Amino acid sequence: MGRGSCFHVEISLGKGESDRPHVEVPSRRVIGIKPTADPFRVLVVDDQPENRRVMSQMLESVGFSIREANDGAEAVASFAAWSPHAILMDMRMPKMGGAEAIRRIRATPAGQTPFILAVSASAFTENREHALTAGADDFLSKPFREADLLERLRVRLGVEYISVDVPTVRTPGALLIHNSATAGPALARLPSSLRNELHTAAIHADYDRLMSLADQLTGIDPESARIVRQTVERFDYQMLIDYVQGGQGHA
C-alpha cells in the first residue's frame, strides 16, 4: 500500500502499415427512448448514495423514469407503491439485503411482473446463483458498462432506443496528445456538477458514461471534451480523477 509495483512485459509486434490516423467502425450510442404511452419505470436499490446516483443519472439521461431506495425494506415498499417495470437490486446491503427483498417482492401478487436485475460487486458463481435462486431474472457485476445495462433492459422490457453513430478516431503512436500541465486546470474550471459526474464515473471505471459526458462537454468546452476522450481511451481513470480534482495527473 502506498508504494505500488513494477512490471516488466515483453511483446512482439510487427511494423504497422501506416502512421496516419484512421477511423474505426462507428459504434452506436443510445441517446434516448422512443416515446411510449407508459414511461418505463426503474427502481434503483443500493445502500451507497454514490452508486445510486450513477445508475440513476445514467438511466434518466436516456429517458427512464427513476426512483431510488437505500435498502431492501425501502425497495419492497417502493415496489408496492410505484409498480416499476424493472428493479436494479444491489445484493449486499445492511438491514435487509437484496436476496430477501427480491423474495418478498416475488411473494406479492404483482411480484412476478417486474424484471429484477441483481447487481453486485462480486461475480463469483455462488453469488450469481444465490441471486437467481432468490428470484432475480439476471445478474450484472460491478463495475459494468452502460451498454450492458441498457441492452438487458431492451431485451427484457422491449425498450426501443434512439441511437446515433459515434466514430472513434485514433492516432497510432500518439495516444496522448494533450498537455498534462494544462489539462488539469482546464477540467478543474468546469462546473462542479460536471466535475462530480466525471469523478464518480472515473472511480467506477465507467467507460460509456465518461464518453457520454465527453459528448456533453463538446458543446460547452471542446478542449475539455478532447482531454476526457483521450484519457478515457487510454483507460487512465486515475489521471482523469487527478485532473477533475485540479491536479496535473500522474506520469
CATH of the domain at 84: 3.40.50.2300
Same domain, 154 and 213: no
Q: What is the pLDDT along the chain (251 residues), one digit of tens a residue?
A: 678 888 888 888 877 655 554 445 556 788 899 999 899 999 999 998 888 988 898 899 899 999 999 999 999 999 999 999 999 999 999 889 999 999 999 999 999 999 999 998 776 777 889 999 999 999 998 777 888 899 999 999 999 999 887 655 444 444 444 566 667 788 888 888 888 889 898 998 888 889 888 888 877 788 888 889 888 888 888 888 888 887 555 44
Whether residues 195 and 151 fall in one domain: no
Domain extent, residue 56, equals 28-162
* Cell matching residue 76: 419492497
Split into its structural domains, the chain has a count of: 2
203 and 153 in a single domain? The answer is no
Is residue 62 assigned to a domain? yes
**Do residues 158 and 185 share a domain?**
no
Domain presence at residue 23: no
Task: Indicate whether 148 and 181 sit together in one domain.
Answer: no
Sign of torsion, CA 28 34 219 187? negative
> Quick one: which H or E segment has residue 89?
strand 86-90
Tell me the pTM: 0.63
**Within a domain: residue 43?**
yes
Kindly state whether residue 145 falls inside one of the protein's structural domains.
yes
Strand pairing report for 86-90 and 115-120: parallel
Asked if 63 and 87 touch (Cβ cutoff 8 Å), the reply is no
Q: In this structure, are 226 and 185 located in the same domain?
A: yes
**Cα–Cα–Cα angle for 62, 65, 68, rounded to 5 degrees:** 115
User: Same domain for 142 and 224?
Assistant: no
Domain final residue, candidates 109, 132, 162 = 162
Reduced DSSP (H G I as helix, E B as strand, rest coil) percent helix, strand, coil of the chain, to 5: 45, 15, 40
22 in a structural domain: no
* Alpha-carbon radius of gyration of the chain: 21
